[in-house]
Amino acid sequence: MIVRTRFAPSPTGFLHIGGLRTALFCWLFARRHSGRFILRIEDTDLERSTDAAIQQILDGMEWAGLVQDEGPFFQTKRFDRYKEVIEQMLAEGTAYRCYCTKEDLEQMRAQQVARGEKPRYDGRWRERTDPLPGVAHVVRYKNPLVGEVVVNDVVHGPVVFQNTELDDLIIARSDGTPTYNFCVVVDDMDMEITHVIRGDDHLNNTPRQLNMLRALGAHAPVYAHLPMILGADGAKLSKRHGAVSVLQYRDEGFLPEALLNYLARLGWSHGDQEIFTVEEMVRLFDIADVNKSASAFNAEKLAWLNQQHLMRVPAVRIVPVLRWHLEKEDIQASDEAVLEQIIVAQRERAKTVREMALNSLFFFRPPSFYDEKAVRKHINPEALLLLRQAVRDFETLDDWTAPAIHGLINGIAAAKGTSLGKLAQPIRLAVCGGTVSPPIDATLAILGKSESLSRLSQALALWTA
């Protein structure tokens, strides 16, 4: 058997954290078993589905690196197929036409409520074959009247539903369009899905879907319903908790591998390991290890993990990400080697690549102003003397490397009987405009000799004027 999983988002809103985790588990499971991962866009709700949401989902999946092996398929492109299956079920007697009018249904409901019963369709058209000319009809699936449906859920264990609790689902509306649960069934059957991994808000749809799959003679997939993700306050994750579009995490400077690592750990564990590469997750992931209790989203932990990944991945991996964030600040950074050096110098002090980019703007733009408070604190006649000395010595330094620069600055400080900081801070202020940068020797080495000297002279000119 080849494992086939699918991620089936409805494009009625953003691809958010919960959706991405579902996609991740489907993808990991398929990868782990050398199977196929299918992307299916469930866009049958024409009123609520938007092209923007579809694009967002596709972009989010691509950014996360969860590349599908098949698809994307769109349900709206499969209407002919759904019609065909409806006809087949009508012919086989597993579905029937129901000519109840809205008034009939309202009356049925009112009578049931009056009798103290749970309102449900009473199956009055199940056995009738006498069409009512001129009356619009829906098509209903003929659910078994007795017996039970056991969903052997990988996460929740066996969940038993009584057929008496399931009324006859409408599979085609009066305008002929298929309904949501039915499309899912036809798709899971046609796409030969072996493992349905999805949010546990769909657990209640499962017995009906299973019944219909069986009615169609299809092989039932294995089901794994994932627990919800909650906000830190225990409520369902919502926008208020930062449950925003996955692409916002990209914009905020998270690495996709860090976000995936974080999401994998929401509900799944492997011993007490916290940090996983994508390859490790593929090797170790198993839906059988997914926890059935809901897990809470923790933004701080995500930030921590992001930094862990920033420090662990090869710097070249971050180069395109940093470049992308710099571009958003109108900086075109083409020199890969420079970006790599910046990453090595900055990664311990940034939780996100965006933060890294914002802290690194000065590498690409000379300061347009100098932090006034810092100037008052650090720039005085003694500092200016030291700076001039540094400029003179730098001019004759051929080996423009961090260790050589370090030696030179140290030498000046020692010769003048002062501390390193007394010289390092004025230099930093001159080249960065502020007092925050990586170690000054690394900073100057990355900036290069001529740029460093030009910034130092510019600042000296200003401060001595």
Q: What distance lies between CA 125 and its chain's CA centroid?
A: 46
**Distance between CA 405 and CA 257 in Å, rounded?**
36
Binders in 302-361 for ligand GLU, by CB under 6 A: none
Q: Interface mask (CB under 6 A) for ligand GLU, residues 199-218, using x and -?
A: ---x----------------
Active-site option among 239, 328, 373, 377: 239
Query: Among residues 261, 269, 272, 353, which one has the least CA distance to residue 307?
Result: 353
C-alpha to C-alpha distances, 337 to 92, 315, 340, nearest whole angstrom = 68, 10, 5
Contact between 179 and ligand GLU by CB under 6 A: the answer reads no
Nearest residue (CB) to ligand GLU, 120 versus 202: 202
C-alpha to C-alpha distances, 191 to 27, 40, 78, 152, 330, nearest whole angstrom = 16, 10, 12, 21, 45
Contact between 8 and ligand GLU by CB under 6 A: the answer reads yes
Are 255 and 307 a contacting pair, CB within 8 Å? Answer: no
Q: Which stretch binds ligand GLU (CB under 6 A): 6-14, 83-91, 275-283, 417-425?
A: 6-14
Closest approach of Cβ 49 to ligand GLU, in Å?
10
| Number of residues binding to ligand GLU, judged by CB under 6 A | 7
Nearest residue (CB) to ligand GLU, 199 versus 434: 199
Write the CB contacts of 129 (distance below 8 Å, at least 6 apart in sequence). Answer: none
Contact between 248 and ligand GLU by CB under 6 A: the answer reads no
Residue showing the smallest CB distance to ligand GLU in the complex: 198
Is the link from the previous residue into 11 a cis peptide, with omega within 30 of 0?
Answer: no
Residue 416: burial class (beta carbons within 10 Å; 0-12, 13-18, 19+): middle
Binders in 18-77 for ligand GLU, by CB under 6 A: 42
**275: phi > 0 → left, psi -120 to 50 → alpha, else beta; which?**
beta
Q: Which stretch binds ligand GLU (CB under 6 A): 2-10, 65-73, 275-283, 404-412?
A: 2-10
Nearest residue (CB) to ligand GLU, 12 versus 107: 12
Contact between 10 and ligand GLU by CB under 6 A: the answer reads yes
Contact between 220 and ligand GLU by CB under 6 A: the answer reads no
- The dihedral through the CA atoms of 270, 276, 282, 287 has a sign that is positive
Closest approach of Cβ 2 to ligand GLU, in Å?
20
Instruction: Please pick, from the candidates 33, 78, 140, 198, the single residue that binds ligand GLU as defined by CB under 6 A.
Output: 198
Closest approach of Cβ 51 to ligand GLU, in Å?
17
Q: What distance lies between CA 279 and its chain's CA centroid?
A: 17
DSSP letter for 361, please: G
> Is 351 a residue of the active site?
no
Contacting residues toward ligand GLU, per CB under 6 A: 8-10, 42, 184, 198, 202
Instruction: Tell me the catalytic residues.
Output: 239
